Structures are given as C-alpha cells and as structure tokens.
Amino acid sequence: MQEPTHILTGVIIQKSFGGIRPRDLALGLTATVAFLSHGFLDELARITFHPADPDFHSPFWVGYHAAVLMTSILFLFLWWKKYKWGIAFAAVPDVDWIFIHGQGIFHIQIPFYRQPHLHDLLHLIYHRIPPFSWLTSIVNRLPNARHNPWACLWEVLLVAVLLLTLRLMTMAERPSVRPAKLQVT
Ligand SMILES: [Zn+2]
C-alpha cells in the first residue's frame, strides 16, 4: 500500500492501545501490531493501483505519486509528534525500498541489503504462519488490479474509511467536549 495508508494505520493502532497500562506494554503491542499491519496492507495492495516499477513517462503515475507524497507529508505533519511510535513501526518495512532504490540511484552497493529483508520477513509470516497465512489466502482470491489506474480509488476509499475511524475514535474519547460547546452557544 501507499505510505499515507500505512501512516494512518499506525496512528489508529497506537491510539487503540493508548489506554493500556503499563505504558511499555502499550508500546510493545503498538510496535508488533503496526509492523504486522504493514504486511497485511501490502498483501491487500493487489486490489489497488500498485505497479512494481515506477513509470515516469505516465502522467497519471507521476500525478498520483505526487499526491501520495503530499498526503504523506501532511499526515506526518498532523500526527508524527503524537503517534510517532505507531507510524514508525507501521512504515518501517518501506526502508527496504529506500536502501534498494537508493543503491540504484546513487550507483553504490550495500552487499547485505540487496533484498527487501523486512518485506521478506513479512512475506514469510503472511504466507507460512497461520493465522496470517489464512488471511493471505482470502486476500489472494481478490482480483489483481495492480496495473489498473482506476484501482487507486480502492486505496482512496480505504484512507477515507481510516480517517473516519480516527475521527470517531477521537470523538468517543472526548464526551465532555459537546456539552461544553452547547453551553457556549
Ligand atoms: Zn511495503
């Protein structure tokens, strides 16, 4: 999936475990679930526009990825300070692509980082280890639309649902806000 989806998922996961004490347990759960969420979302990416290789000659590919980049920056601006732990673990596997594509761009070689190690680990978990592998077998029944530009709408929809979920969670944790506002008006 694209980075905004991973960022938002990390925020929601950290928020979900926010009430758990001791705090170390909440952070441990957040890190584990956020890291695993990356593997699931990347399996789900088959239904969205997600070609393996960049296509800088396609105006749509460039425009879409520019929008993705802007949205990622906006989301980090909004939530990094408060939810950096969840965001970091939800997004950290994509460090693989920074190392791998970075070597190509700068013409350098890092012998131990020629493979996407973190994605390989998630792939192993989601293809070999139940119950994660069961989820993958269900997701694999969905149509593969990685090369269909219209399929980006599925990811836009998912981001909208995640935003709505976050909004509802925020509203639920502040029941006192509404009466206070009513008194003012
Ligand atoms: Zn990924």
| 3-state secondary structure string across the chain | CCHHHHHHHHHHHHHHCCCCCCHHHHHHHHHHHHHHHHHHHHHHHHHCCCCCCCCCCCHHHHHHHHHHHHHHHHHHHHHHHHHHHHHHHHHHHHHHHHHHHHHHHHCCCCHHHCCCHHHHHHHHHHHHCCCHHHHHHHHCCCCCCCCCHHHHHHHHHHHHHHHHHHHHHHHHHCCCHHHHHHHHC
Q: What is the mean pLDDT of the chain?
A: 92
Q: Cα(1) to centroid of ligand 1, in Å?
A: 6
Q: Cα(72) to centroid of ligand 1, in Å?
A: 14
Check residue 184 and give its pLDDT: 57
Q: Cα(23) to centroid of ligand 1, in Å?
A: 28
Residue 178 has pLDDT above 70, yes or no: no
Q: Cα(38) to centroid of ligand 1, in Å?
A: 6
Check residue 176 and give its pLDDT: 58
Who has greater pLDDT, 126 or 175? 126
pLDDT category of residue 153 using cuts at 50, 70 and 90 = very high
Q: Cα(119) to centroid of ligand 1, in Å?
A: 6
Q: Cα(167) to centroid of ligand 1, in Å?
A: 25
Check residue 183 and give its pLDDT: 57
Q: Cα(93) to centroid of ligand 1, in Å?
A: 6
Q: Cα(35) to centroid of ligand 1, in Å?
A: 10
Q: Cα(8) to centroid of ligand 1, in Å?
A: 14
- Decide: 5 and 41 in contact? Cβ < 8 Å: yes
Check residue 108 and give its pLDDT: 86
Ion ligand 1: residues, CB < 5 A? 42, 93-94
Check residue 173 and give its pLDDT: 83
pLDDT digits (tens, 9 = 90+) for 11-61: 999 999 998 999 999 999 999 999 999 999 999 999 999 998 888 999 999
Question: Can you tell me the mean pLDDT for 101-122?
Answer: 90
- Decide: 139 and 46 in contact? Cβ < 8 Å: yes
Q: CA torsion sign, 165 to 170 to 173 to 176? A: negative
